[in-house]
């Protein structure tokens, strides 16, 4: 019997209340999700702010939940965080000199020819060293040089290789210097690996001594070459994790020499880098590893970039 009220019976009122509460809950959850996506506290990156603790802007996490600082992503790490690496070397010329030549051993007479390096007359070139398992220094230097070229070109540099496996031997050491001079290179780096006794480990960078004799005059390049060498040693150490030489340079990883034609005859800033000792088993394990050689190329590239952009 009707009592004149317009309210629904008790059971119907309970159902209506539940529907209203469910709708409110859905709206609240939706709003919270929108706020989180927009960058509210607890999201990966606050809008206009820094990444949340333990995360990078890309969402990666490092060991132990810390930031992922890895730079091994197929490109070149930005030295010192300065500028965009792409195009940062536009207008710059870099000469990369892969030490020796894989074909030198077939042309021993030609590479034994003596050339004038200012302070003396020395062989045109040599065969280089090798690991105890027979991996040649010349193969190592050419592989790393090609990797460096790719990384430098990615930054806009013009890169000249003194040889790209396309010569029957050499070039001779005087021609290697001449290639850099003719290119008016902003920097030149000769890539090598040492052949010292087992137990001698680590890398070192060779700087030109002050030389003035015959066709050699390094007065104008010793200062900038040292700067290039120091940058190169710092970045090579940081990227590869290799130690500075324990047998040359008194722990500095730097050595000054006046008996190398490639340095004596250079008129542009130039250094040599001995990336490790091929006759030491631990160093050889790195030098023969393609992943490590990519790191070596990145370290060399970053050292050059640091020198040219500071």
- 33 and 147 part of one domain: no
Residue 223 lies in a domain: yes
- 186 and 39 part of one domain: no
Residue 75 lies in a domain: no
- The proportion of the chain whose per-residue pLDDT surpasses 70, expressed as a percent, equals 72
Q: What is the pLDDT of residue 59?
A: 31
CA distance 198 to 77: 32
Higher per-residue confidence, 67 vs 36: 36
- 299 and 171 part of one domain: yes
Does residue 54 surpass a pLDDT of 50?
no
Q: Are 128 and 108 in contact (CB under 8 A)?
A: no
CA distance 189 to 297: 12
Structural domain containing residue 299: 88-309
Does residue 111 surpass a pLDDT of 80?
yes
Q: What is the pLDDT of residue 1?
A: 42
Average pLDDT over residues 301-307: 98
Active centre residues (catalytic): 274
CA distance 301 to 205: 14
- The proportion of the chain whose per-residue pLDDT surpasses 90, expressed as a percent, equals 72
Other Cβ atoms less than 10 A from the Cβ of 77: the count is 21
- Cα maximum dimension of the chain: 126
pLDDT, averaged across the chain: 81
pLDDT in tens, 14-49: 554 444 455 545 544 455 444 344 433 333 222 223
Q: How many domains does the chain have?
A: 2
- 285 and 198 part of one domain: yes
- 111 and 25 part of one domain: no
Angle at the Cα of 61 from the Cα atoms of 236 and 154, rounded to 5 degrees: 40
Does residue 224 surpass a pLDDT of 80?
yes
CA distance 297 to 147: 6
Residue 4 lies in a domain: no
Average pLDDT over residues 189-216: 98
Does residue 289 surpass a pLDDT of 90?
yes
Residue 78 lies in a domain: no
- 215 and 266 part of one domain: yes
Helix, strand and coil content of the chain, in percent to the nearest 5, comes to 40, 15, 45
Residue 193 lies in a domain: yes
Residue 81 lies in a domain: no
Where is average pLDDT lowest: 12-16, 196-200, 305-309? 12-16
- 121 and 199 part of one domain: yes
Average pLDDT over residues 194-221: 98
Where is average pLDDT lowest: 10-14, 193-197, 271-275? 10-14
Q: Are 290 and 67 in contact (CB under 8 A)?
A: no
- 30 and 93 part of one domain: no
Q: What is the pLDDT of residue 87?
A: 74
pLDDT in tens, 143-153: 999 999 999 99
Residue 79 lies in a domain: no
Q: Which residues have CB under 8 Å from 298's CB, separation 6+?
A: 71, 72, 76, 77, 151, 239
pLDDT band of 4, cuts 50, 70, 90? very low
pLDDT band of 85, cuts 50, 70, 90? low
Q: What is the pLDDT of residue 86?
A: 64
CA distance 209 to 127: 24
- 170 and 280 part of one domain: yes
Which residue spans within 175-297 are E strands per DSSP? 187-194, 204-208, 212-213, 216-217, 254-257, 270-277
- 116 and 211 part of one domain: yes
Q: Is the dihedral of CA 167, 158, 147, 281 positive or negative?
A: positive
The CATH number of residue 103's host domain is 3.40.630.40
213 sits in which H/E element: strand 212-213
18 sits in which H/E element: helix 10-37
Residue 129 lies in a domain: yes
- 93 and 225 part of one domain: yes
Smallest CA-to-CA distance from 277 within 217, 170, 204 is with 204
- 233 and 176 part of one domain: yes
Does residue 9 surpass a pLDDT of 60?
no
């Amino acid at each position: 019997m009707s009592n004149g009220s317009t309210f629904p019976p008790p059971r119907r009122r309970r159902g209506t209340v539940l529907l209203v509460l469910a709708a409110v809950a859905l709206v609240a959850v939706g709003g919270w999700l929108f706020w989180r996506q927009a960058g509210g506290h607890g999201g990966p990156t606050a809008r206009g702010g820094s990444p949340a603790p333990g995360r990078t802007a890309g969402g990666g996490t490092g060991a132990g939940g810390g930031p992922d600082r890895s730079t091994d992503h197929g490109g070149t790490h930005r030295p010192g965080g300065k500028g965009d690496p792409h195009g940062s070397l536009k207008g710059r010329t870099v000469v990369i000199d892969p030490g020796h030549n894989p074909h030198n051993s077939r042309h021993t007479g030609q590479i034994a020819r003596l050339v004038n390096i200012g302070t003396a007359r020395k062989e045109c070139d040599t065969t280089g060293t090798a690991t105890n398992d027979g991996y040649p220094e010349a193969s190592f230097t050419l592989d790393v040089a090609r990797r460096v070229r790719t990384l430098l070109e990615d930054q806009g540099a013009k890169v000249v290789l003194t040889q790209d496996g396309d010569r029957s031997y050499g070039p001779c050491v005087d021609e290697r210097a001449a290639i850099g001079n003719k290119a008016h290179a902003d920097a030149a780096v000769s890539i090598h690996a040492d052949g010292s006794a087992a137990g001698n480990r680590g890398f070192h960078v060779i700087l030109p001594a002050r030389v003035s004799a015959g066709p050699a005059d390094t007065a104008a390049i010793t200062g900038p070459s040292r700067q290039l060498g120091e940058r190169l040693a710092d970045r090579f150490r940081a990227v590869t994790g290799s130690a500075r030489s324990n047998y040359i340079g008194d722990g500095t990883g730097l050595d000054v020499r006046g008996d190398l034609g490639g340095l004596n005859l250079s008129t542009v800033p130039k250094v040599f880098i001995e990336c490790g000792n091929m006759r030491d088993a631990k160093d050889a394990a790195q030098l023969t590893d393609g992943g490590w050689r990519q790191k070596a190329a990145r370290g060399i590239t970053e050292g050059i970039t640091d020198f040219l952009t500071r």
